[in-house]
Amino acid sequence: MSARADVAGVPVATGHFIANERVDSAATFTDRSPLDWSLALAEVSRGSAADAAAAVGAAADAFPAWAALGPAERGAYLHRLAELIDANVERLARVECLDMAMLEESLRRRVIGRGARNFRAYADLATGYEGRRWSSHGTENHVQRMPAGPTVVITPWNAPFMLSTWKCAPALAAGDTVVLKPAEWSPLSCSLLMDLVAEAGLPPGVFNLVQGIGEEAGAALVADPRVRRISFTGSPETGRAIGLAAAANLVPFTAELGGKGPFVVFADADLDLALERAAVMYDDAGQVCLAGTRLLVETPVYDEFRARLIERARSHVLGDSRDPATTVSPLIHPDHLARVEGFVERARAEGHRVLTGGRRWRDDGLWYEPTVIEPLDNGAEIVQREVFGPVLTLQRFSGEDEAVALANSTRYGLSAMLFTRDRARADRVGARVRAGTVWVNCFLVRDLTAPFGGTGISGVGREGGDYALDFYSDLKTYQVKEGTTHG
Ligand code: NAD
């Protein structure tokens, strides 16, 4: 019997999941709750290079049979898994809330369910794929997808369940076998997912999990020469390290990295809507890569927006993420809180104006107050670097050209938001903004078939829909001389 921890009444296995067996490491790391740092949730297996090799070996052994199944049969397994996720939303939400402090209500209402949607969407998309067919040069041409092989998926601590399923679902649907390594700061929901993988009856080795530290288990996984795809979500710094490992083995890799999204409010915007959306940037304590953290507001409405934004920021309710009244949760980890504090302290020392917030909420917790900073100049660190906390900067601009120049002035390019009542302006500015996703008068609306990724240091490659299924496949051109008959 492998080790399990009791997390709010839910038994969570603390070991790896390799070839449908739980495997415990002798070494462990302590997983704590951001809601109460004195609360040790679990002693989790600290994966070694040997554990990583065993998991990749299981994925390599399982690959030929899984690849041979075909999309419809694989899709049937993935639909079963999606049903089990839906049936376990309560347990998953409870554990994820304690583990990374996302608001329990939003986990229950939408975030965990998105995991099920991820599996359904990719199962159906892969099954419906026909591949382009055409005639040329006296031949029939057909584009076909070949499963690529064992795939390593490495995910960050924010939204671990949603992001892991978002990346693993297309890999499995495309016919690849997977080794998932979730982040060491929030490892538990992915372990619960593996219980559901076993219950859904996926063949051993198709979907494996290794727990552990990035520089140990993670580094060993991405360096394994048997791996044929690497899919990563996390910081640009780790993305670079993983990119080098991928290059060493000539393995295609995709990276969804950090963001510093511009949130552009034109004078003709619906200000109520823009302010309501701006306040959402404090959700999950600002630990959202897609957030529009640089508020750029056109001069005629700047003062009004500024005053109302401060009011909005102050009206947030900080508290326990299990309490439905709470709107801002604590940060994930004391180290991360210190990092966020460091950004704000340096900004203050450089003379940038902290309009509201700018401090811890309580000495005995990991909360940080919703903060607005008015920088003196656009080159400030607080404007140029991702904070990944409840900290927004507020700057003014005049006219479209300056809006575009400011929007494009960082090295990131993940998302951008534009607020205007003028569709023509939105289209003009939207075309000039460098970002993987541009939302006009909305935020976080996601169609899973759309491409998703970043430009600049926000990412390499695209996921989403067919883009992800193509990435997890080797595309084959199948060409037959016209007139070749069936024997
Ligand atoms: P991180 O880069 O520190 O860690 C991410 C994962 O990489 C973890 O599982 C970690 O264990 C692993 N890792 C670390 N070093 C490794 C190595 N050398 N080899 C292999 N694996 C290694 O990121 P984080 O702090 O967990 O997450 C926050 C970052 O993620 C932010 O920058 C955020 O913007 C970004 N993010 C991006 C998206 C997106 O879709 N673009 C989504 C969520 C988060």
Q: Which residues contact 115 (CB under 8 A, 6 or more apart)?
A: 82, 85, 92, 161, 162, 164, 165, 166, 193
Cα 149 to middle of ligand 1, angstroms:
23
Three-class secondary structure of residue 433 per DSSP: coil
**Which CATH code is given to the segment(s) 262-440?**
3.40.309.10
Q: Cβ < 6 Å from ligand 1: which residues?
A: 154-158, 163, 181, 183-184, 214-215, 218-219, 222, 233-235, 238, 241-242, 256-259, 289, 386, 388, 414, 454, 459
- Asked if pLDDT for residue 11 goes beyond 90, the answer is yes
| Cα separation, 222 vs 235, whole angstroms | 16
pLDDT at residue 2 in the model: 84
Write down the pTM of the prediction: 0.97
Pocket test residue of 289, 332, 335, 455 for ligand 1, highest count of atoms within 8 A of CB: 289
Q: What is the pLDDT of residues 198-216, one digit of tens each?
A: 999 999 999 999 999 999 9
Could you tell me where in the chain the CATH 3.40.309.10 domains are found?
262-440
β-strand pairing of 459-460 with 353-356: unpaired
- Cβ atoms of 316 and 282 closer than 8 Å: yes
- For domain 4-257+454-477, the CATH superfamily is Aldehyde Dehydrogenase; Chain A, domain 1 (3.40.605.10)
Atom of ligand 1 nearest to the CA of 234: 30
Could you tell me where in the chain the CATH 3.40.605.10 domains are found?
4-257+454-477
pLDDT-derived band at 1, boundaries 50, 70, 90: low
The kind and range of the H/E element at 36 are strand 36-45
Q: Which residue type sits at 113?
A: G
Q: Which residues contact 28 (CB under 8 A, 6 or more apart)?
A: 14, 43, 44, 45, 46
Q: What is the pLDDT of residues 413-439, one digit of tens each?
A: 999 999 999 999 999 999 999 999 999
pLDDT-derived band at 487, boundaries 50, 70, 90: confident
Which residue numbers are catalytic?
A: 256, 289
pLDDT at residue 329 in the model: 97
**Two structure tokens written together for 91:** 């347990």
* Residue ID of nearest Cα to ligand 1 atom 33: 258
Mean pLDDT across the stretch 318-338?
A: 97
| Cα separation, 382 vs 343, whole angstroms | 6
Cα 182 to middle of ligand 1, angstroms:
9
Q: Which residue type sits at 10?
A: V
- Cβ atoms of 244 and 253 closer than 8 Å: no
- Asked if pLDDT for residue 357 goes beyond 70, the answer is yes
Pocket test residue of 99, 100, 185, 233 for ligand 1, highest count of atoms within 8 A of CB: 233
Q: What is the pLDDT of residues 302-311, one digit of tens each?
A: 999 999 999 9
Cα 130 to middle of ligand 1, angstroms:
35
Pocket test residue of 48, 158, 227 for ligand 1, highest count of atoms within 8 A of CB: 158
| DSSP-assigned beta bridge partners for residue 92 | none
- Cβ atoms of 309 and 278 closer than 8 Å: yes
Q: What is the pLDDT of residues 228-268, one digit of tens each?
A: 999 999 999 999 999 999 999 999 999 999 999 999 999 99
The kind and range of the H/E element at 146 are strand 139-147
| Percentage with pLDDT > 70 across the chain | 100
Q: What is the mean pLDDT of the chain?
A: 97
